Homo-oligomer: A and B are copies of this chain.
């Protein structure tokens, strides 16, 4: 989690939804515009027009033009982060990436929060990607740092250098570390023996830690088993996606990848405190505030020993709700009952 003293400083990225920037349909921007138009829980916090693996090689130019044309036409409520091409091991992809970044900065530099660069390698390669963004900024007259950079961690090299990459990110335009499990599993030669890819728990824990230590966001990877089939019926795989997102939420990842509007609904929801969680933590804050007024440092509330460290966890819950409420009051209004939401918004959180 990346928080600051002020709720409004919490940067939301509960959902990182990629949409192919061009598909071979009559309306080649169909998925992109459907992402831009989404509302309520279907609207992702970050929409990622995908110029990389989601768009076929011979449609990438069209995908770039779609992005440039469509993004300014909508009042999208979240952030726009196009994903460009890149490769730590192949300079031709880096050249394409540089041109895409340049074109995006030139045409819609003030409509996007940054670009997402995939397949980065060791720290030097991440620096190189950051430099490509800096060049595009200078070239098109944007102030230094105004166009962000997020990277997909999906190579053995990027995982190996994760700590150093995140530390570099402390003082740079680097904004989010996003996991890319599919490429990552291919690089490591991981196997799916019929029960799915490994979860890579060590990596997820490190991603959450290094992002927190450096003030960056951490985002989980895509879940591609979109549909299941049983007894002749094909249906959306809601259970397994939710399991993955809950796992990521437990580990402190700020958000999750979505490939599909239904996934966006689920990830947006899971990365909000549940009503039970909010009720529980609001209650414990109220009780702990009373105890502090009586001069106690640690106190047992509902069987749990609570002190200032425990208190911080409860405060996280409330501050996350406040941050979402400020930007998506439709979602908090929908999800929590009025009385609970009001208690959460009015609660005294400082423990000084």
Kindly provide the distance from the CB of A215 to the nearest chain B CB, expressed in whole angstroms: 9
| Bound complex: CA A348 to CA B297 (Å) | 51
Please report which residues of chain A, range 135-164, place their CB below 8 angstroms from some CB of chain B when the two chains form the complex. 154-157, 159-160, 163
Binds B, one of A39-47, A177-185, A324-332: A177-185
Asked if B250 and A313 make an inter-chain contact with CB atoms under 8 angstroms apart, the answer reads no
Copies in the complex: 3
Q: What is the number of residues of chain A that contact chain B, defined by CB distance less than 8 Å?
A: 92
CB-based contact B228/A303 at 8 Å: yes
CB of A150, distance to nearest CB on chain B (Å): 17
Q: Which residues of B contact A227 (CB under 8 A)?
A: 300, 303-304
Per a CB cutoff under 8 Å, which of B55, B182, B297 touches A20? B297
Q: Residue A296 at the B interface, CB < 8 A?
A: yes
Chain B min CB distance to A212 (Å): 4
Check if A200 is an interface residue, CB within 8 A of chain B.
Answer: yes
- Residue picked from A166, A188, A273, A305, most chain B C-beta under 10 Å: A188
Q: Is the CB of A225 within 8 A of B304?
A: yes
> In the bound complex, how far is the Cα of B237 from the Cα of A302, in angstroms?
12
Contact mask A234-260 → B, CB, 8 Å, 1/0?
A: 100100000000100111101000010
Q: Which residues of B contact A208 (CB under 8 A)?
A: 188-190
- A186 near B56 (CB under 8 angstroms)? no
Contact in complex: A305, B259 (CB < 8 Å): yes
Task: Identify which of residues 49-67 in chain A touch chain B, using a CB-to-CB cut-off of 8 Å.
Answer: 50, 53-59
Instruction: Report if A91 contacts B (CB, 8 A).
Output: no
Determine how close the nearest CB of chain B comes to the CB of A191; give it in whole angstroms.
5
Is A190 in contact with B259, judged by CB distance below 8 angstroms?
no
Judge whether A338 is part of the interface by a CB distance below 8 angstroms: no
A213 to chain B, nearest CB (A): 3
| Option from B59, B237, B251 in Cβ contact (under 8 Å) with A190 | B251
Q: Is the CB–CB distance between B156 and A192 below 8 Å?
A: no
Q: For residue A57, which residues in chain B have a CB less than 8 angstroms away from its CB?
A: 297
Q: List 21 A-B contacts (CB under 8 A).
A: A2-B189, A23-B296, A23-B297, A24-B295, A24-B296, A54-B297, A56-B292, A56-B295, A58-B295, A156-B209, A159-B209, A188-B208, A189-B208, A189-B252, A190-B208, A193-B274, A193-B277, A198-B251, A200-B205, A201-B202, A229-B303
